[in-house]
Structure 1
Amino acid sequence: MGILLMLPMLLLAACGNAVKAPESGDTPDSDKAESTGTLERAKEKGSITIGFANENPYAYKDASGELTGEAVEIARVILQRLGINEVKGELTEFDSLIAGLGAKRFDLITAGMFINPDRCQAVLFANPEYSIGEALAVKAGNPLQLTSYEAIAKNADAKVAVMAGAVELDYLRASGVPEEQLVIVPNQDTAIDALKSGRADAMTMTGPALQSRLDSAKEPGIARVMDFEQPIIDGASVRGYGATAFRMEDTAFRDAFNAELEKMKESGELLEILSKFGFTEQELPGDMTAEQLCQ
């Protein structure tokens, strides 16, 4: 997925039947006769097998052993509306998910996988269900009016807390922030402390990670910059988009999935599910499509 999120997540208990691991003898619906599409076979059987990589907050097993996560819960709702009420999970290493889909160990990937042109050569992506970018927190009221990394670079008095070794360090430097304005800290909690104590005027990390820290800290004197402008590095946005992936031949399945996903976006249901896993309006995918991201 390309982004490491250190994120304690709330668990989602609603949205349908529990996901369970395949029982002995279970095989993905795609192993049936090839004359019928994956969606039709799954509807006939009433169940389907998904591939996941146990990565919080996308798809993971909770303390009770149930499979949850933003990708799982979104897929569960959509699959139920397509007539598939039971979802079985197949745990797979992340870098083996695409191979497992091709080998028909499971019938779709619900792991919050980022869409990129290389992966688009191997799998058929639905439209994105979320996006991940950078985020900024400041003192309440944003007294220095910091809404981007460039704004930090332009204000010599502004200091930003960032974790050692984090990709945000590269982004800040590429955006022109000098070393003397960087407050390099060992972890996320120390970044919060630096902002609270005044050693820093801002702190930055990925959106869900930052939101998780703010939710845990419950510090009224600190606020997220909701109009933060994503950094542009080497001419490209650093924002990534995650989606469900299908086999190349399952265009009808992908199209049906996309139709239901669009309804969820329009009704606000997508944000309701995402918010249970630490996502905010800033992590919505907007009008971005898989076709655009695959180019």
Structure 2
Amino acid sequence: MKVTIAYLQEPPFGWTGSDGTATGADLDLADAVLRAIGVTRIEHCLTTFSELLPGVEAGRWDMNVPLFVTPERAAKVAFSLPVWAIGDGFLVRAGNPKVLDSYASVAKRADARLGIIAGQVQHDAAKAAGVPADQIVIFEQQADAIEAVCSGGIDAYASTALGNRILAQQIGNAVEAVDHATESEGQQRPPVGAFSFNKSNGELIRAVNAQLCLYLGSSEHRARMARFGLTAKEIDPAIGHRSL
């Protein structure tokens, strides 16, 4: 049995290693779950964020790495059980010269420019917080947004708080990560992410969900995710979300 999973260049969730192989927390989780349900061949397909949902809808691959669950996305694809829950954050230049620590703080500064990857939930969050369209710069690739932060083309790049912390560690002293307080953005709990599938692929979806029920929160799961920086802070809210 073969399964093809699409992924993004977005550490710590997924990226292409120096040896050309796909790696990351989401791919590690997918590997553990798929092997447990009898998949003998796993292929990885690097793509862009804007192609994730259209690709799995069109059957170009079988499943996507986890992304945030929204009603709009759920109308197009089938989501697995949640696998992580992560709030937003900014990647900014060292010292955070414009003191940006939430979408609202960007909206209050007409001279602030916010970078966002096309189609990601951060775009809706920024607009809901009152950030005008002319302060938002859309990128197709994360690498371009990071370069814009470093060069001063934008003042902040919005993504997951965890992802930005990992990026800041990798890039070094030129940038820093700023977590958003969920209360400042009107969130009671961080949003959840889940694998997604073509809605017609019911057999795979059911098998993955059954294994996720057994595996998520186990000592093995926590240990493997810890290697990529995911902790109980990101795991436990997703597990708890199933019963909410």
Alpha-carbon shift at residue 127 of structure 1 (Å) = 1.2
Alpha-carbon shift at residue 134 of structure 1 (Å) = 5.9
Structure 2 matches for 1:148-227, cutoff 5 A? 163-164=96-97, 168-170=101-103, 206-207=161-162, 209-210=164-165
Match of 1:99 among 45, 48, 54: 54
Aligned residues: 182
Q: 1:92 to 1:167 in 2, by over 3 A?
A: farther
Distance 1:167 1:248 in 2: 40
Of residues 243-252 and 62-71 in structure 1, the stretch that sits farther from structure 2 once superposed is 243-252
Matched, 1:120 2:74: yes
Match of 2:239 among 286, 291, 294: 286
Alpha-carbon shift at residue 270 of structure 1 (Å) = 2.3
Check whether the contact 2:57–2:197 (CA below 8 A) recurs between aligned residues.
Answer: no
Q: 1:233 to 1:257 in 2, by over 3 A?
A: same
Matched, 1:260 2:211: yes
**Cross-structure match for 1:7:** none
Distance 2:69 2:52 in 1: 14
Q: 1:163 to 1:89 in 2, by over 3 A?
A: same
Of residues 87-96 and 234-243 in structure 1, the stretch that sits farther from structure 2 once superposed is 234-243
Structure 2 residues without counterparts, runs of 5 or longer: 108-148, 151-159, 173-178
Q: 1:256 to 1:165 in 2, by over 3 A?
A: farther
**Cross-structure match for 1:181:** none
Alpha-carbon shift at residue 238 of structure 1 (Å) = 6.6
Identity %: 23
Structure 1 residues without counterparts, runs of 5 or longer: 1-45, 136-160, 175-186, 189-204, 218-227
Distance 2:52 2:106 in 1: 34
Q: 1:60 to 1:210 in 2, by over 3 A?
A: closer
Check whether the contact 1:162–1:168 (CA below 8 A) recurs between aligned residues.
Answer: no
Matched, 1:84 2:84: no
Check whether the contact 2:64–2:197 (CA below 8 A) recurs between aligned residues.
Answer: yes
Check whether the contact 2:22–2:44 (CA below 8 A) recurs between aligned residues.
Answer: yes
Listed one character per residue, the Cα deviations across residues 125-148 of structure 1 (whole Å, up to 9, x for unaligned) are: 11111121268xxxxxxxxxxxxx
Check whether the contact 1:101–1:107 (CA below 8 A) recurs between aligned residues.
Answer: yes
Structure with more contact order per residue of length (Cα contacts < 8 Å, sep ≥ 6):
2
Q: 1:249 to 1:270 in 2, by over 3 A?
A: same
**Cross-structure match for 2:7:** 52
Q: Determine which structure has more spread, i.e. the larger CA radius of gyration.
A: 1
User: What secondary structure does 2:228 align onto?
Assistant: coil
User: What secondary structure does 1:253 align onto?
Assistant: helix
Give, as a single letter, the amino acid of the residue that structure 2 aligns with 1:61: T
Match of 1:240 among 185, 191, 205: 191
User: What secondary structure does 2:45 align onto?
Assistant: strand
Give, as a single letter, the amino acid of the residue that structure 1 aligns with 2:239: G
Root mean square deviation, CA, Å? 3.4
Higher helix share: 2
